[in-house]
């Protein structure tokens, strides 16, 4: 690229050159995505976030959010510029290392140009001030996510991309971080989030609720729930703090299932190993547009319905999904297949259908009650969803669970439980992909042949020829 040289006063030129000096050269832009196979612009190149410090204020009446996002990150290359993901909202100011930075926006990319090059390995601090009415997103599969207003507040749900509607960040499951989230709401309302409560102060008719997440969290399972809640604090298994927040209008019909939280947690620890996080809980709200629960970290959100199977499913996601997090959105079955399989195990252990019976009825096409729904399980292989619109489709959940039953058939119960516990331990608080999983299983049972399972059940098109 050739450019006519502007006339630059010598002193300014010297200062610019000095700023670019420092052994790292000028650096290059980090890039707008992480090449996710389904969401190529999700996340950003050139840095890893280690901590988010989010200070938010929300007024349900005006639906206005005001935020300050403090982001601590480490450069993984010399950076002349880097992107954050943010959809909607108005950016006011951006600073890097305390200095005003230039920025611009295009789609979901907020591109920041720090005054000085950030060097590979350097830890740096970004502060973004922003405000506006956060968006509700409609995904390619038609489901709603992002910021979801309720009758008395709002809930934030971020799978797969909705968290960029309420804070700027590196919104890809491969970049996990710790969080401090403080939410200021009108007095009388409560703000619940992930992790543990770390403070509550009221001043000037508003209350600030602070939450601390000490274990790494993917941004898609970060949440904020604002509204009137009945809050119950307890402990599970004698030591683990539990924080349960329930919309009063759902309290009565939720009570029986919520009472099972300790039992489900203890059952899950027996089967899947030590719980990976420092608190548990549940959030039950009313949000009519959302037809699904989400495994938000520490405490899943149920937007209205709460049944035992779904409670089991969302709690087991804490092990598979939230602690062992898919590396990309292609690896989603490692999250959904495990959580679905856990429902089958729960029912088996409760004296209901065995996991093999559930598998058989899916294979025989008499599980869902309509031929169309039963056929949908075979639409694509679980490890290769047909596109971004399909990552939450039946093959990822049910056929993914069937892969686990195939492994159990092959190795027997003792080795199977060693595998699922060992997998959770090996990748605790990390990310993992399908190739790592198949290699792990093969290492745990070196005398068995998994070739046909991987070929037909995990990667093969159509219904596998043999159960
Ligand atoms: N992942 C959620 C769960 O299984 C459910 C979910 C989130 C979902 N987004 C979705 C289901 C979109 C269907 C469509 O716990
Ligand atoms: Zn799930």
Secondary structure (DSSP) of 332-343:
GHHHHHHHHHHH
Produce one character per residue of 395-412: b if its CB has 16 or more CB atoms within 10 Å, e if not: bbbbbbbbbbbbbbebbe
Ligand 1 close to Cβ of residue 191 (< 6 A): no
Looking at all shown ligands, the one closest to residue 294's CA atom is 1
| Best of 297, 392, 394 for a ligand 1 pocket test (most atoms within 8 Å of beta carbon) | 392
Taking each continuous run of H as one helix and of E as one strand, the counts in the chain are 12, 23
Whether the pLDDT of residue 253 is over 60: the answer is yes
In this structure, the number of other CB atoms found within 10 A of the CB of residue 302 comes to 27
* Protein residue with its CA nearest to atom 10 in ligand 1: 392
**Higher pLDDT among residues 282 and 2, named by residue:** 282
- 15 and 8 Cβ atoms separated by less than 8 Å: no
Q: Is the CB of 152 under 6 A from ligand 1?
A: no
309 CB near ligand 1 (under 6 Å): no
The CA distance from 245 to 79, in Å, is 43
Share of the chain above pLDDT 70, in %: 95
User: Cβ(424)–Cβ(406) under 8 Å?
Assistant: no
Q: From the CB of 440, is ligand 1 less than 6 Å away?
A: no
Which residues have a Cβ under 8 Å from the Cβ of 12 and sit 6 or more positions away? Answer: none
Tokens encoding 107: 């789609």
Atom of ligand 1 nearest to the CA of 295: 15
Ligand 1: residue whose CA is nearest its atom 13: 392
Q: Is the pLDDT of residue 25 over 80?
A: no
Q: Which atom of ligand 1 is nearest to the CA of 339?
A: 4
What confidence score (pLDDT) does residue 5 get? 41
Global model pTM greater than 0.85: yes
Q: How far is the CA of 82 from the centre of ligand 2 (A)?
A: 32
Q: Is residue 11 predicted with pLDDT exceeding 80?
A: no
Q: Which residue has the tokens 């520490």?
A: 298
The fraction of the chain above a pLDDT of 90, given in percent, is 94
Q: What average pLDDT does the segment 116-136 reach?
A: 98
The token duo for 332 is 């989603």
How far is C-alpha 149 from the geometric centre of its chain's CA atoms?
20
Q: How far is the CA of 294 from the centre of ligand 1 (A)?
A: 6
Dihedral sign for Cα atoms in the order 89, 70, 37, 374: negative
Tens of pLDDT, residue by residue over 395-433, are 999 999 999 999 999 999 999 999 999 999 999 999 999
- Taking 90 as the threshold, does the pLDDT of residue 300 lie above it? yes
State if residue 293 touches ligand 1 by the CB under 6 angstroms criterion: yes
Q: How far apart are CA 316 and CA 425, in angstroms?
A: 14
Q: Determine the atom of ligand 1 nearest the C-alpha atom of 145.
A: 9
**What is the phi/psi pair of residue 445, to 5°?**
-140, 70
Q: In which region does residue 142 sit, left (phi positive, over 0), alpha (psi from -120 to 50) or beta (all else)? A: left
Tell me if 292 CB under 6 Å of ligand 1: yes
Q: 116 CB under 6 A from ligand 1? A: no
Of residues 77, 81, 53, 78, the one with CA closest to residue 67: 53
- Per the structure block, which two tokens stand in for 386? 């047909």
- Can you give the pLDDT at residue 359? 98
Using the predicted structure, report yes or no on whether residue 317 has a pLDDT greater than 80: yes
Give the span between the Cα atoms of 361 and 367, in whole angstroms.
5
- Residue 208 β-bridge partners: 184, 201
Q: Homologous superfamily of 22-226 in CATH?
A: tricorn interacting facor f3 domain (2.60.40.1730)
Domain positions in the chain are 22-226, 229-318, 325-458
CATH number belonging to the domain at 229-318, selected among 3.30.2010.30, 3.30.420.40, 2.60.40.3500, 3.40.50.980: 3.30.2010.30
- Alpha-carbon distance of 408 to 432, in angstroms, equals 20
Please indicate whether residue 343, judged by its CB atom, sits closer than 6 Å to ligand 1. no
Higher pLDDT, 23 or 270: 270
CA of 391 to the centre of ligand 1 (A): 9
Higher-confidence residue of 7 and 249: namely 249
Q: Report how far ligand 2's centroid is from the alpha carbon of 314 (Å).
A: 6
Residue 61: is it exposed, middle or buried by C-beta count within 10 angstroms (0-12/13-18/19+)?
exposed
Q: Domain 325-458 is classified in which CATH homologous superfamily?
A: Neutral Protease Domain 2 (1.10.390.10)
With bands split at pLDDT 50, 70 and 90, how would you rate the model's confidence at 453?
very high
Quick count: other Cβ atoms within 10 Å of Cβ 346? 22
Strand pairing of 430-432 and 324-326?
A: parallel
Rounded Cα distance, 334 and 84, in Å: 27
Task: Locate the ligand 1 atom nearest the alpha carbon of residue 300 and give its number.
Answer: 15
Of residues 128 and 21, which shows the higher confidence score? 128
Binned at pLDDT 50, 70 and 90, residue 305 comes out as confident
Ligand 1, atom 2, lies closest to the CA of 294
What pLDDT is stored for residue 382 in this prediction? Answer: 98
CA of 90 to the centre of ligand 2 (A): 32
pLDDT tens track for 349-383: 999 999 999 999 999 999 999 999 999 999 999 99
Q: Ligand 1 centroid vs 102 CA: distance in angstroms?
A: 37
Question: Which protein residues have a CB closer than 5 Å to ligand 2 (ion)?
Answer: 336, 339
How crowded is residue 201: how many other Cβ atoms within 10 Å of its Cβ?
11
18 Cα: distance to centroid of ligand 2 (angstroms): 52
Averaged pLDDT score across all residues of the chain = 95
């Amino acid at each position: 690229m050739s450019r006519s040289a502007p006339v630059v006063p010598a002193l300014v030129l010297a200062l610019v050159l000095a700023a670019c000096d420092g052994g790292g050269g000028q650096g290059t832009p980090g890039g707008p995505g992480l090449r996710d196979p389904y969401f190529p612009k999700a996340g950003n190149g050139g840095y890893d976030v280690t901590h988010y410090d989010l200070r938010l204020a929300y007024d349900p009446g005006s639906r206005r959010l005001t935020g300050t996002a403090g982001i601590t990150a480490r450069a993984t290359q010399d950076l002349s510029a880097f992107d954050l993901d943010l959809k909607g909202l108005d950016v006011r100011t951006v600073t890097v290392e305390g200095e005003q930075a230039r920025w611009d926006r295009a789609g979901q990319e907020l591109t920041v140009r720090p005054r000085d090059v950030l060097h590979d390995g350097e830890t740096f601090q970004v502060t973004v001030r922003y405000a506006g009415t956060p968006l509700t997103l409609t995904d390619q599969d038609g489901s709603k996510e992002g910021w979801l207003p309720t009758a008395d507040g709002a809930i934030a749900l971020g799978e797969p991309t909705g968290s960029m509607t309420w804070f700027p960040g590196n919104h890809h499951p491969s970049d996990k971080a710790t969080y401090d989230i403080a939410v200021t709401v009108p007095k009388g309302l409560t703000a619940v989030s992930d992790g543990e409560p770390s403070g509550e102060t009221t001043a000037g008719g508003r209350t600030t609720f602070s939450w601390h997440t000490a274990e790494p969290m993917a941004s898609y399972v970060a949440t904020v729930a604002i509204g009137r809640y009945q809050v119950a604090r307890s402990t599970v298994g004698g030591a683990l703090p539990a924080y349960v927040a329930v919309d009063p209008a759902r309290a009565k019909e939720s009570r029986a299932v919520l009472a099972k939280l300790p039992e489900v947690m203890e059952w899950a620890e027996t089967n899947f190993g030590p719980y990976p996080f420092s608190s548990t809980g549940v959030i039950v709200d009313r949000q009519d547009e959302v037809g699904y629960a989400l495994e938000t970290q520490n405490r899943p959100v149920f937007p209205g319905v709460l049944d035992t199977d779904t409670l089991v499913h969302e709690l087991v996601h804490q092990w598979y999904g939230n602690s062992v997090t898919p590396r990309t959105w292609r690896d989603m079955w490692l999250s959904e297949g495990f959580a679905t399989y856990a429902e089958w195990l729960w029912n088996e252990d409760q004296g209901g259908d065995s996991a093999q019976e559930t598998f058989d009825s899916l294979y025989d096409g008499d599980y869902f009650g309509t031929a169309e729904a039963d056929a949908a399980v075979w639409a694509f292989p679980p490890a290769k969803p047909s596109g971004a619109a399909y990552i939450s489709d039946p093959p990822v959940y049910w056929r993914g669970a069937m892969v686990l039953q195939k492994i159990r058939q092959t190795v027997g119960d003792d080795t199977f439980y060693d595998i699922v516990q060992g997998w959770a331990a090996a990748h605790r608080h990390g990310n993992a992909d399908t190739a790592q999983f198949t290699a792990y299983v093969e290492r745990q049972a070196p005398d068995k042949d998994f070739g046909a399972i991987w070929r037909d059940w995990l990667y093969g098109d159509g219904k596998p020829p043999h159960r």
